[in-house]
Amino acid sequence: MRCPPDELIAWKREFLREPAHTLPPLARFLTPFYQASGDLNELVPINYEDLKQRIQQSLPAHNASADLYMEMLDAEETLYVGEHCFHYNQHFGINSTKARFDELNSSLENERRSRKLEKAAHSQQKAEWDAEKEGIDQMADNFSDDMREQADLVKSLKKERDSLRMEMDAEKKAKEELFNAFGSMDE
């Protein structure tokens, strides 16, 4: 920032066009905010909600809407965002190591939660599939039992038919013998 005005203006222009490549390494976490700022023009009203959202994206582990204040701490200027503090240094302005660490921890915790949710969803899906499989197995067992009952019924009906046929044959034979006996009496 301590360069001749022409170089500073060129840097600012490039900064608004490509913040991810122009920002110092310690400030790259602010890229979403600077990208939104670079999209602003004087013809369209500023969308403050979008800028707030981009700031929040830059620091997901912190409340970007919290109060911002500065005070001296151990002879060092300290910037406070809510209860989180950032120390100034001569290279960048804000030492964001703790913020980045907090952000990484937050991301890691979010990833763990996400994996737990995925695991729970998979377990629930597996339980549903197991229950469905058990239901299908039970339906197959019931169907097999019904088929066995039907087969047993058919067998018993065939036996009854055969016994009725035998009775009818015996009756027919008895009638024929009786008819023959009456016929021989007539002669």
Q: Does the structure show a pLDDT above 80 at 157?
A: yes
Q: How high is the pLDDT of residue 177?
A: 86
Residue 94 lies in a domain: no
Q: Which residue has the tokens 């602010």?
A: 30
Which of 4-8, 30-34, 99-103, 129-133 has the weakest average pLDDT?
99-103
What is the total count of domains within the chain?
Answer: 2
pLDDT category at 170 given cuts 50, 70, 90 is very high
pLDDT category at 166 given cuts 50, 70, 90 is very high
Alpha-carbon span 21 to 15, nearest angstrom: 8
The side-by-side arrangement of strands in the sheet containing 68-73 is 68-73, 76-81, 84-87
For 103, phi then psi, to 5°, come to -65, -45
pLDDT, greater one: 58 or 1:
58
Residue 98 lies in a domain: no
Residue 13 lies in a domain: yes
Residue 140 lies in a domain: yes
Q: Which residues contact 35 (CB under 8 A, 6 or more apart)?
A: 19, 20, 54
pTM for the whole structure: 0.30
Residue 85 lies in a domain: no
Range of the domain at 136: 119-187
Mean pLDDT of 4-26: 79
Residue 1 lies in a domain: yes
Torsion from C-alpha of 127, 132, 137, 138, nearest 10 degrees: 100
Residue 159 lies in a domain: yes
Residue 49 lies in a domain: yes
Q: Which of 35, 64, 93 is the last residue of a domain?
A: 64
Q: Are residues 60 and 123 in the same domain?
A: no
Distances (CA, A) of 62 to 29, 58, 70, 74, 98: 13, 9, 17, 24, 11
